[in-house]
Amino acid sequence: MFAQFVLALREAGVPASITEYLTLLGAMRAGVADYSVEDFYYLSRAALVKDERHLDRFDRVFGQVFRGLEAAAEGGDGGIAPRDLPEEWLRRMAEKHLTPEERAQVEARGGFDKLMETLRQRLAEQQGRHQGGSKWIGTAGTSPFGAYGYNPEGVRIGQDKSRHRRAVKVWDKREFRDLDDGVELGTRNIKLALRRLRRFAREGAATELDMAGTIRATAHNAGSLDLKMVPERHNAVKVLLFFDVGGSMDDHVRASEELFSAARSEFKHLAFFYFHNCPYERVWRQNQRRRDAMIPTEEVIRTYGPDYRAIFVGDATMSPYEIATPGGSVEHWNDEPGATWMARLLGQWRRSAWLNPAPRDEWGFTQSVGMVRQLMEDRMYPLTPGGLDEMIRELSR
Amino acid sequence: MSGFKSTERYIASRDLEVAVNAAVALQRPLLVKGEPGTGKTVLAHEVAAALGHPLLEWHVKSTTKAQQGLYEYDAVSRLRDSQLGDPKVADIANYIVRGKLWDAFEADRPQVVLIDEIDKADIEFPNDLLLELDRMQFFVYETRQTITAKHRPVVIITSNNEKELPDAFLRRCFFHYIRFPDRPTMERIVDAHYPGLQRDLAREALTVFFQVRDVPGLKKKPATSELLDWLKLLMIEDLPAEALRSQDAKLVIPPLHGALLKNEQDVHLFERLAFLNRRGG
C-alpha cells in the first residue's frame, strides 16, 4: 500500500526496512492512526525513522509522496464548498491536461480567458471519467499538485487555499533540520580503521571477579576463599578532532565529513573543533556561528587533559606566513604566530597526528605542508584507510 | 481507541500520543530520545498511570550488563556456602537472582517496564537484549528452564544519545524524539505544574528562559525540568514579575540562576555577555 513511500524513503537515505514497513501496516490495522493524515504522519514517523538525524529527510519525502492527500482527507469530513469545486478542479486540470506547448502558447498570447476556455473544453470532455466527488483527488495523486504555479498568468495550483493545507504544515515546517548530520555514515574502511584505536584499557573501580587471581589466592590461603577483583574493561580512548574548514579545504569537505561521522560513532569521549588553515588563539564548534561562538584555544587546552589524543584534519596548504609570523592569519590579526599555538597544542597532547586529505605525493609541492610536518614531527598521514592505520599505530603507542 | 493521552500533570504532544499508542498496540518497545530534562523518564510513569499497569524501573549504568535484567547466578555466595557446609548448596536455584525483566515476565498482570538511559551501558548491551525483547522470553542455563512472558509488558526505553544504538535493535522499536517544547506548549506545562502562578510572573519567566536558551555556546541549555525548578524557587522567594522585567532590554544574569545554569563555564559566559552588554548599552 505504501511501498512507494518506503522506497522513496530509502532512496532519500532513511534506512527503513521491510520489518518496519510491516510494523507500520500492523499498526494501521490495529487502528492506531484513526484515519487522520496527521496521525498517519506521526505513526509512520515513529515506525520508520529511528534516528532524529533522519527526521528532516523523512519530512521532505513525506511531503513529496503525500502531496495532495491532505486535500482529500479534509474534503472527506469537512467537505469542499460546492462552489469551490469546479474552480479547483479546473485549476488542477490546467496542470494535468495542458501540454507544455499549450502552456507556452498561453504564455505567448497572455490570454487567461483563452486558457479557461481550453480548460472548460477539457472539462466537458473529461466529465464521463472524472465525475465522482472526491475520487479525482485520489487519482490525481502524483502530478497535479506537484508542479506548483507553472503558469505566470495566475493559474496556480494549491498555493492559495490555506484551509486545506493545515495538515501538511506539520511536516512542511521541517523542524528537525538542525539534527541532520548531512552525511551518511562514512565508508566502512574508515570505521574499521578507527576501531583499532578503540583500545581496551582497564581502569576505575574493581568490579569484576578475577578468576585466575582468586584461585591463586585461595590456594595460597590453604583453601579458604580469598576473592580478587579487577577493574572492568571499557573503552578509554579519548579523542579531540580539529577540522580545517573553508578555503582550500572545500575540495576535501566530503572526505573529512565522512571521517567525522565515522569517528562520532566510535568514541565515547570525542570533542571536535574547527579552525581555518592553522589553529590560532581561538577555535569554534559550530561552523555557521563561527563569528559569535568562538572558543579560546587556551580554554580547550585547559579543559581536555593530556590523556586525549589530538587529531588535526587539514590540507595544511596556506601561505608560510600564516604559520610563521604574527599577523599572518588571513582572517584576523593574530598576536602570536600559528607555530606557537601549534607548539602549545602539541605540548598539551603528546599523542597527536595530522591527517591530510591531499595525496601524499603532492605534499612536496607546497612549502607550508613541509612546515606543518616539521611541527608535527613527521606525524602527518594521508586521509586513506592505509594512512589511518599508520596514524592509529602511532597514536596507540 | 482509548490509550495514552495528555493528563493534567503531563502534557504530551499528539505525535507522542500516537507513538505510545502504536507501541502499546503492537507490543513493541518504544525508544524515546531527546534533550535531558524534557520528560523522558516521567513519560514511563505517566504511561503506567494511564494504562493502570504497575511500573518496573531498570536504571542502566555504565557497568550494567544485559544479563542482570534477566537473572544473575550468584556463584560467590554458593562457593561461600559450600565452604560453610550449608545444605542450600545442593540446589542451584537458590542462587539464581531474578532481574527486572524476569519479574515483569512472570507477573500476573501486564507491566510497564522502563529501561532508563540505555546508552549509558556498554555498546553490546542492546544487542544482548534483542531476542528477549522481541520474543519476550529467555532461557536460564543453570536450571534449564525457559521463562516466557505471561503478558507482554509495555517496554519504554530512554536514551540520551551518548552512544549510537545498533540497527538491529532499532528495527524492533518504535521511535520518538521529544522535541523541545515551543512557547505555547511550555505555557501549558507550567500551568499544569503551578496552577496558582501569577500570570505576569510566568510570562516574564518564560521570556527570560527562552532568552537564556538562545545564548550561543551554552554547554547545557536549561530544559523543562530546570524551568520548573526555577519557577518553584521564584515562587518560594516571592519575587515580583518586575524583578524579571527590568532586564528586558539587556541581558543580565537572571535571579536565582543556579537552577537554570548548571555549569560553571556557562555562568562565566553569561557574566561576560552581561558585562559586554552593560558596557555597550
Domain ranges across chain A: 3-66, 72-172, 235-395
Q: Looking at residue B223, what is its pLDDT?
A: 87
Q: Is the pLDDT of residue A77 over 60?
A: no
CB A300 within 8 A of CB A273: yes
Answer whether residue B1 is part of any domain: no
Q: Looking at residue A275, what is its pLDDT?
A: 85
Asked if A295 reaches chain B (Cβ–Cβ under 8 Å), the answer is yes
Q: Is the pLDDT of residue A156 over 50?
A: no
Of residues A9 and A195, more confidence is placed in A9
Answer whether residue B8 is part of any domain: no
Average pLDDT, chain B: 84
One domain, residues B156 and B264: no
Answer whether residue B4 is part of any domain: no
- List beta partners, residue A241: A272, A311
Please judge whether A50 and B62 are an interchain contact, meaning their C-beta atoms are less than 8 angstroms apart.
Answer: no
Phi, psi values for residue A258, rounded to 5°: -60, -45
Q: Looking at residue A247, what is its pLDDT?
A: 65
Question: For the stretch A342-358, what's the b/e string if a residue is b when 16 or more beta carbons lie within 10 angstroms of its beta carbon?
Answer: beebbebbebbbbbbbb
Q: Looking at residue B57, what is its pLDDT?
A: 93
Of residues B155 and A247, more confidence is placed in B155
- Average confidence (pLDDT) over B132-151: 89
Q: Looking at residue A185, what is its pLDDT?
A: 31
- List beta partners, residue B115: B58, B157
One domain, residues B174 and B189: no
Q: At what angle do helices A37-48 and A55-65 cross, to 10 degrees?
A: 140
Report residue B55's pLDDT band, with 50, 70 and 90 as the boundaries: very high
Answer whether residue B2 is part of any domain: no
One domain, residues B167 and B57: yes
One domain, residues B30 and B144: yes
Residue in the block written with cell 500570570: B199
Range from A291-305, B89-103, B267-281 carrying the lowest mean pLDDT: B267-281
Q: Of B178, B209, B236, which residue constitutes the final position of a domain?
A: B178
Q: Is the pLDDT of residue A109 over 80?
A: no
Give tens-digit pLDDT for B11-45: 888 888 889 988 988 888 999 998 888 888 889 99
One domain, residues B258 and B157: no
Please judge whether B216 and A49 are an interchain contact, meaning their C-beta atoms are less than 8 angstroms apart.
Answer: no
- Contacts across the A-B interface (CB distance below 8 Å): 87
Please judge whether A293 and B217 are an interchain contact, meaning their C-beta atoms are less than 8 angstroms apart.
Answer: yes
Q: Is the pLDDT of residue B56 over 90?
A: yes
- Average confidence (pLDDT) over A299-324: 85
One domain, residues B171 and B227: no
One domain, residues B153 and B139: yes
Question: For the stretch A284-306, what's the b/e string if a residue is b when 16 or more beta carbons lie within 10 angstroms of its beta carbon?
Answer: bbeeeebeeebbebeebbeebee
Q: Is the pLDDT of residue B158 over 90?
A: yes
Asked if A229 reaches chain B (Cβ–Cβ under 8 Å), the answer is no
Helix (H, G, I), strand (E, B) or coil at B147: strand
Average pLDDT, chain A: 68
CA A120, chain centre distance (Å): 47
Q: Looking at residue B13, what is its pLDDT?
A: 84
CA distance A318 to A301: 24
Give tens-digit pLDDT for A197-229: 665 455 555 677 888 888 888 877 767 777 887
Q: Closest partner residue to B22 among A43, A224, A264, by Cβ?
A: A43
Which residues on chain B are in Cβ contact (under 8 Å) with A43? Answer: 18-19, 22
Of residues A171 and B166, more confidence is placed in B166
Range from A9-13, A160-164, A267-271, B85-89 carrying the lowest mean pLDDT: A160-164
Asked if A231 reaches chain B (Cβ–Cβ under 8 Å), the answer is no
CA distance A122 to B245: 64
Which grid coordinates belong to A90?
479546473
Domain of B139, CATH number, reads 3.40.50.300
Which residues on chain A are in Cβ contact (under 8 Å) with B162? Answer: 268
Q: How far is A46 from chain B (nearest CA, A)?
A: 5
Topology annotation, domain A235-395: Rossmann fold (3.40.50)
Please judge whether A225 and B79 are an interchain contact, meaning their C-beta atoms are less than 8 angstroms apart.
Answer: yes
CA distance A88 to A76: 16
Please judge whether A225 and B80 are an interchain contact, meaning their C-beta atoms are less than 8 angstroms apart.
Answer: yes
Residue in the block written with cell 555577555: B273
Of residues A392 and B40, more confidence is placed in B40
CA distance A44 to A62: 9
CA distance B3 to B13: 14
Q: At what angle do helices A37-48 and A69-77 cross, to 10 degrees?
A: 140
Cβ neighbours of A18 (radius 10 Å): 10
One domain, residues B207 and B161: no
Q: What is the domain extent for residue B258?
A: 183-280
Of residues A304 and B256, more confidence is placed in A304
Give tens-digit pLDDT for A46-71: 888 888 878 888 888 888 887 765 54
Q: Looking at residue A139, what is its pLDDT?
A: 35
Answer whether residue B229 is part of any domain: yes
Instruction: Give, as one character, the DSSP assignment of residue A83.
Output: T
Answer whether residue B225 is part of any domain: yes
Answer whether residue B136 is part of any domain: yes
Please judge whether B171 and A293 are an interchain contact, meaning their C-beta atoms are less than 8 angstroms apart.
Answer: no
Please judge whether A20 and B163 are an interchain contact, meaning their C-beta atoms are less than 8 angstroms apart.
Answer: no
One domain, residues B146 and B247: no
Q: Is the pLDDT of residue A75 over 70?
A: no
Q: Is the pLDDT of residue A97 over 80?
A: no
Q: Of B178, B205, B239, which residue constitutes the final position of a domain?
A: B178
Domain count, chain B: 2
Helix (H, G, I), strand (E, B) or coil at B192: helix
Q: Looking at residue B10, what is its pLDDT?
A: 86
CA A166, chain centre distance (Å): 28
H/E run at residue B244: helix B242-245
One domain, residues B97 and B48: yes
HEC string of A125-192 equals: HHHHHHCCCCHHHHHHCCCCCCCCCCCCCCCCCCCCCHHHHCCCHHHHCCCCHHHCCCCCCCCHHHHH
Q: Looking at residue A116, what is its pLDDT?
A: 57
Which residues on chain B are in Cβ contact (under 8 Å) with A33? Answer: 18
Please judge whether A39 and B162 are an interchain contact, meaning their C-beta atoms are less than 8 angstroms apart.
Answer: no
Please return the burial class of A270, using the count of CB atoms within 10 Å of its CB with bins 0-12, 13-18 and 19+.
middle
One domain, residues B105 and B121: yes
Q: Of B178, B207, B229, which residue constitutes the final position of a domain?
A: B178
Answer whether residue B206 is part of any domain: yes
Asked if A23 reaches chain B (Cβ–Cβ under 8 Å), the answer is yes
CA distance B227 to B260: 7
Q: Looking at residue B172, what is its pLDDT?
A: 87
Query: What are the C-alpha distances in Å from A384 to residues A73, A170, A259, A381, A391?
Result: 52, 42, 10, 8, 10
Interface probe for A, chosen from B21, B65, B118, B219 (most Cβ of A below 10 Å), is B21
Please return the burial class of A138, using the count of CB atoms within 10 Å of its CB with bins 0-12, 13-18 and 19+.
exposed
Of residues A296 and A260, more confidence is placed in A296
HEC string of A223-279 equals: CCCCCCEEEEEEECCEEEEEEECCHHHHHHHHHHHHHHHHHHHHCCEEEEEEECCCC
Name residues whose C-beta falls within 8 Å of residue A64's C-beta, 6 or more positions apart in sequence: A8
Range from A153-162, A237-246, B6-15 carrying the lowest mean pLDDT: A153-162
One domain, residues B151 and B207: no
Q: Is the pLDDT of residue A166 over 80?
A: no
Please judge whether B170 and A50 are an interchain contact, meaning their C-beta atoms are less than 8 angstroms apart.
Answer: yes
